Amino acid sequence: MSVIVRRMAEADRDSAFRIFLDSFGGGPDRLAAMAELPVTDRWVAEDAGRILGVMRELRVGQSFGGCFVPSAWVAAVGVGLTDRSHGVSRALMSGWLRELHDAGVPLSTLYMSTMAAYRPVGYELAGTRVSYQVPLEHLPRAQPLTVEAWDEGDLAEVGDCYRRVSLERNGMMDRPEWWWEPRVFGGVSADAFLYRYRVIEDGRTTGYVVYTLKPDDRPDVPIHWAPEPECFALVARELVWETPSAARSLLGFLAAQRTIGTDLYWNGPANDPLIAFLPERHPQVQGSFTWMMRLVHVSEALRLRGYPAGLDAEVQMRVADPVVPGNDGAVTLRVRDGRAEVEPASDADLHVTVNGLAALYSGWMSPYDATRAGLLTGATEEELATLARMFQGTSPYLNEMF
């Protein structure tokens, strides 16, 4: 088999989308609906005119060290049923990554169905999205600020709030305006409402929530007019806040639904600071979606992120990248005034795999953990401490699924 990796063309539509449906589910109706989808953001693996696999890329930005860094998110890699376990996805990903590197794209991120397919092409675990659940009766009740409804007309102000919060947390998306309607507000069933509330401080939106109601059982509720208890849970699509008053007010507002409500569900980082407002009970962790990341262009990725203010430091490292030759080699990383300069170096004793560098870069792993995991070798104590200061950061998190 000699696999060619290229952008998807119109002529590939039927075979490529059929592979997509065979991989993720769907039948003739969905295939017909895909007739209108653009193909320009998809890539295929082809062998002698036959389509073997397909993937979709999404060009976005992700926050690292207080700067948004361009990233190519990978959605929906699929390989034809009879072509699996023959190295097709590895060839597709490798070819695509080399093209991206040549175009100077710094990062790539994906949610994986198996780590095994992505580690060999340079991705490593880099952040997570945790789903929490807490009974409404365990939320704080005070509402120091007025909570008011908002709608599409307020999106610029609400989006600014999201942007300020996302710049302070590694991994969060530089969310484009088009994302809100389909991805945050969409998919509400015909017989349900979408609820949007916010708080304003000094003329600025400092917190908001977007949620739906989900029917839920609560046998202790004495509703005599219904044959069965009819209660609901509050499922937050987003719960974003910038100040203590904003967090307290939104939680107090949600707590006021506890007569018939059951629980609040929300997504947050692994060490969600929202838990600091819960007076008694720790929320239950429902699960987590962990994502993987790769530095596609090592020097661009290191150059474009932010670093701690006041740090003046330098480290030399040899990056091992068996898939993208342009990344494979030694570099000097010099950090000053929150920014970095990256120069080629002759060699370095400190070795890091391109996978390990992704975990360090996002703040998912400390250099000490990366050393214990064998992803980083040959570093002196001083170099470890320097790397720890350079890549210090918040627990990496993404609310968006793709």
Ligand X SMILES: CC(C)(COP(=O)(O)OP(=O)(O)OC[C@H]1O[C@@H](n2cnc3c(N)ncnc32)[C@H](O)[C@@H]1OP(=O)(O)O)[C@@H](O)C(=O)NCCC(=O)NCCS
Query: Using CB under 6 A as the criterion, which residues of the chain lie in contact with ligand X when the complex forms?
Result: 23, 77-79, 84-90, 110, 112-114, 116-117
Minimum CB distance to ligand X, residue 289 (Å): 11
Q: Of 293, 287, 245, which Cα lies nearest the Cα of 62?
A: 293
DSSP 87: S
CB closer to ligand X out of 81 and 190: 81
CB closer to ligand X out of 93 and 302: 93
What is the C-alpha separation between 258 and 275, in angstroms, rounded?
Answer: 18
Minimum CB distance to ligand X, residue 176 (Å): 22
CB closer to ligand X out of 119 and 164: 119
What is the C-alpha separation between 304 and 300, in angstroms, rounded?
Answer: 6
Helix or strand holding residue 91 (H, E): helix 88-102
Minimum CB distance to ligand X, residue 97 (Å): 13
Minimum CB distance to ligand X, residue 381 (Å): 36
CB closer to ligand X out of 87 and 159: 87
SS3 content of the chain, % helix, strand, coil (to 5): 30, 35, 35
CA dihedral 88, 89, 93, 96 (to 10 degrees): 50
Q: How many residues does the chain have?
A: 402
Tokens 């050393």 appear where? 371
| CB half-sphere exposure, 258, CA atoms < 13 A | 14
Minimum CB distance to ligand X, residue 123 (Å): 10
Minimum CB distance to ligand X, residue 112 (Å): 5
Minimum CB distance to ligand X, residue 288 (Å): 16
CB closer to ligand X out of 77 and 335: 77
Minimum CB distance to ligand X, residue 310 (Å): 40
CA diameter of the chain: 79
Minimum CB distance to ligand X, residue 206 (Å): 36
CB closer to ligand X out of 123 and 180: 123
Minimum CB distance to ligand X, residue 190 (Å): 30
CB closer to ligand X out of 192 and 401: 401
What is the C-alpha separation between 229 and 56, in angstroms, rounded?
Answer: 45
CB closer to ligand X out of 94 and 143: 94
CA dihedral 200, 202, 206, 211 (to 10 degrees): 0
CB closer to ligand X out of 90 and 196: 90
Q: Which residues of 251-275 are buried (b: 16+ CB within 10 A; e: fewer)?
A: bbbbbebbeebbbbbbbbbbebebe
β-pair partners for 214: 233
Strand segments, DSSP code E, in 217-350 are 231-241, 261-268, 284-295, 313-320, 329-336, 339-344
Cβ within 8 Å of residue 393, ≥6 positions away: 64, 65, 170, 362, 363
CB closer to ligand X out of 19 and 161: 19
Q: Of 109, 84, 144, which Cα lies nearest the Cα of 277?
A: 144
